[in-house]
Amino acid sequence: MNLGESQIISLVIGASFAAGLNVYAMCGTLGLLGHFQVVHLPPALHLIENPWIIAVSLAMFVLHFFADKIPAFDLVWNSLHTFVRIPLAALVAYAATSQLSPGAQIASTALATVIAGVAHTGKFAARAAVTPSPEPFSNMALSVGEDTAAIGLTWFATVHPYWAAAIAIVLLILTVILIRMFARAVRSLFASGLSFWRRPERSQAAPRSAA
């Protein structure tokens, strides 16, 4: 399957959201699909079809699969991957759009950076919300769902790029809503904690004023 200009941009949208969830799944899936000629990737992306690149991507995917399912440690792991997922998504987008006009290439790269950043932030917010749970299964289920979504969305973006882009946009909107809800919850929790710690100060100040 050869991709046209609009299809490449749609592929970038879908793959960027997938990268925000699991960049190794995105790179590995794209590499395998390109290597076995399921899809003809843009020439600048042929490097991702290299067997060594595929092997590294799959090895990191396996490592990520286990590390991402350890409660509490997954927050550290995902924090560090802020410096991996977003830059790699931008790099893949820049390479994928190398045959487009310079303006379209820069715009697509910027768009990919934003999409991957939002997906990554939403993933981190969801993990932070479920990590306090005493049972590990919700965290593991969320991680498996993210891995599956990253692989599925990347594959879907190569065979039905327009539909994949539409799905990614819907997921993007839902993720923004999730992030806003999480931010409100954190602010509320912080305000409650602040008022709790200030309460003893007020109770100690009252007897002094009476004296």
Averaged pLDDT, groups of 10, the chain, 211 residues long: 86 98 98 93 92 98 93 90 97 95 96 98 91 79 95 96 98 95 81 63 53 47
Alpha helices in the chain (DSSP H): 5-35, 51-67, 73-80, 82-96, 102-130, 137-159, 161-210
The reported pLDDT for the residue numbered 211 is 47
Distance, CA of 81 to CA of 168 (rounded, Å): 20
The reported pLDDT for the residue numbered 91 is 97
The reported pLDDT for the residue numbered 137 is 83
Distance, CA of 19 to CA of 95 (rounded, Å): 15
The reported pLDDT for the residue numbered 168 is 98
Q: What is the pTM of this model?
A: 0.88
The reported pLDDT for the residue numbered 188 is 78
The reported pLDDT for the residue numbered 201 is 53
Distance, CA of 137 to CA of 82 (rounded, Å): 24
The reported pLDDT for the residue numbered 207 is 55
List the end-to-end C-alpha distance of the chain, in Å, as a whole number: 85
* H or E element at residue 135: none
